[in-house]
Chains A and B, each alone.
Chain A
């Protein structure tokens, strides 16, 4: 038997095609059928123009693309041995911007994407989570629009800001701006304490045992209870191999395949297209059914995203949950939620570290338009996982631009011998609802997957 389901309430849509044998899913195809062709569009453009294009790959993680682009351009300079000076202030403003975007995305994802599905499984009254109407839904929409204003202060607007340029950032916030930003983050902390988890942030951050789950209240408790009630602590398990490509104040680079190793070699990343459509029909394989590609590290599928980041940097609470519940839906969602709390705390501190008397921008010595021949790569942690940009410049123009997005790591079509990370997590399940929620636990993004 085959079933075709449409997964909406993501960015764009995905099709989930399951093959069943005796009420068990034996194969899961995830199809992404929307394509725009950014990598083709970027060819022959002036390198700086990429700063305007790539954030538009995704309306939700545009910051991450902006940061990856600005860094890939700076790496071009580095690879040619031109020194690029970056003040601490510029570095801080970039990381702060990215963190705010992740915080915003995680909160929204919980209320807009996960809760409507999981509460639908229950016969209890969860109308306060009802999209567009429920009081909890509206509250979360209010708080995310407050949080994102703190990014608009340095970014000019959100979505699609372009305040980072090679050499720094264009913005020069005043002390008042910084205080305003902190105020917005404080209101998010209040939201966390009063509405989301019902624990004070300091207590939460000291959680270190799986049993600390019991101390959580409010909306997150609703999720946890529903999870146990429907067995999501036991399903959604995949390879349990994790990869993080870049480090920040909160995240560490590394991979884990049973043990954690804090070293990653970008040369070992490989993309392939066995099941992927091609714009050139002649190059397309007969079995193509999606615009998503496959990506593997050292010939293996790895998961990326908040769970991987928590595992690699050994964050206490999630590490314990991971020991107990492995890479289940429960752990994956908890890791995402844990991440936004840590980011709230860290980002506030980062704002305090800004020295406004420092420069925001130091002009690079030569223009990218003068560069004859060069290549570079960059990596950034985006809300959904590791993002990788790879550029070649020839005679002052982009000659090739390759983007590997976080969701491609998790949601590719798999290859002949092995299913992709999300496919593996779905195969073996016995209901379509469980399959969809498992798929959702990876925070699917159709537009960034296919770009």
Chain B
């Protein structure tokens, strides 16, 4: 486990592989002072749960050194300079001061599943013991009316303080009758509006909650939309992907505990620390892309040698996310690792625009723009096409049925 933390830290601190987010010493110094004050104030608050983080960490056989290693990797993930490491460690211990309410709307529970599967040093414990998860329908103890009451209690008691995590889209067609909840038959939209009213911030987890996801795919039979289309006048943080990476969920909470603020977001409201660069920028197969070595079809010589998956439809060059670094299931693997290619699941409308089998050069997609970071803003399809033309875009497209005309250097179609 410790090794994968080292790896994460290495990737995040290597210049070539990350987006330039250095905001200068003055900025970090002031943030540092602010965080110190914030943590001091939090420490004075009564914990919502009487559990000591370090007790847990130690009782799980993780020593202080490993814990600090984890904290230093996490600091890097959050794109903060190393001096923040002790503060991140302290913030982790204070996670039990921030109440979290998690609701599920039009979803498949995939993000809850992903969260359950996570355990950075012992994030099972971090999340379940230290984090004050005041309500989570699928995994909490209560059910039925008792659960209803628990939810009402939590939002009343933590008015203005809780982070509301939302998983799943919101159906708006037919007056919201495609999704209702509880004994009163409140629609998902009403439910979300009511619970977000007193939240400190709303965190949309997974592509359904952020951009409408799969239920919003054409023809969008239920009129599904994402949280940001419904919740107004509240900070909304989007953590897309299908499923979203638990590391990013923990990251957002930590950032909030540490600074009292939501992390810096791009124009799609995604935290830049996680979505500030493309899969392609840190992909383990990138060297093969640059060398023009591609898997032409699954199972071929290229596939056996882990060549680049661009020609079999990898959307990594268009997809902003950090899973090429964090990977999934505690770093066990990720889609590109297994030879499948990225499907662009953290981008809006990815179901319809990115699709499975269409190699990217043939799909009419535009890069998402926004935010202030160079890579995010200045990235365009042109950049990619320029790189790949020389290595035979025509080979990709001519293999396609019903192909569009793509002009390549040698003038072939």
Q: Do A and B come from one complex?
A: yes
Chain A positions within 8 Å of B, measured between CB atoms, are 4-13, 15, 33-38, 40-41, 43-46, 48-49, 51-53, 56-60, 62, 108, 112, 116-117, 130-133, 138, 141-142, 144-145, 148-149, 152-163, 165, 167-168, 170-172, 279, 359-363, 367, 369-370, 396, 436, 447
- Interchain CA distance A43-B218 in the complex, whole Å: 9
Contacts of A56 in B (CB 8 A): 108, 110, 214, 242
Grouping DSSP codes into helix (H, G, I), strand (E, B) and loop, the B interface class, with mixed when no group exceeds half, is loop
Q: Are B355 and A46 in contact (CB under 8 A)?
A: yes
Q: Which of B173-181, B264-272, B284-292 contacts A (4 or more CB under 8 A)?
A: B173-181
- Interchain CA distance A294-B333 in the complex, whole Å: 39
Contacts of A44 in B (CB 8 A): 218
B residues 71-122 with Cβ under 8 Å of A?
A: 104, 106-114, 116-119
Contacts of B402 in A (CB 8 A): 369, 396
* Chain B residue with Cβ nearest A52: B356
Contacts of A161 in B (CB 8 A): 335, 338
Contacts of A53 in B (CB 8 A): 214, 217, 351
Chain B positions within 8 Å of A, measured between CB atoms, are 104, 106-114, 116-119, 124-125, 128-129, 133, 137-145, 147-148, 169, 171, 178-183, 185, 214-215, 217-222, 224, 242-243, 297-299, 303-304, 327-330, 332-340, 343, 351, 355-358, 401-402
On whether A9 and B138 interact (CB within 8 A), knowing A46-B355, A49-B356, the answer reads yes
On whether A141 and B124 interact (CB within 8 A), knowing A5-B144, A8-B138, the answer reads yes
- Interchain CA distance A85-B402 in the complex, whole Å: 26
Contacts of B297 in A (CB 8 A): 361, 363
10 contacts between A and B (CB under 8 A): A9-B140, A36-B169, A41-B215, A62-B108, A131-B139, A132-B141, A145-B116, A156-B336, A157-B335, A362-B299
Contacts of A40 in B (CB 8 A): 219, 221
- Interchain CA distance A361-B367 in the complex, whole Å: 32
* Chain B residue with Cβ nearest A440: B143
Contacts of B142 in A (CB 8 A): 8
Contacts of B180 in A (CB 8 A): 33-34
CB distance from A50 to the nearest CB of B (A): 8
Q: Are A156 and B328 in contact (CB under 8 A)?
A: yes
- Interchain CA distance A165-B356 in the complex, whole Å: 11
CB distance from B145 to the nearest CB of A (A): 7
* Chain B residue with Cβ nearest A448: B108
Question: Per a CB cutoff under 8 Å, which of B112, B182, B222, B339 touches A6?
Answer: B182
- Interchain CA distance A8-B142 in the complex, whole Å: 8
Contacts of B185 in A (CB 8 A): 33
Residue picked from B148, B334, B340, most chain A C-beta under 10 Å: B340
Q: Are A396 and B339 in contact (CB under 8 A)?
A: no
* Chain B residue with Cβ nearest A120: B141
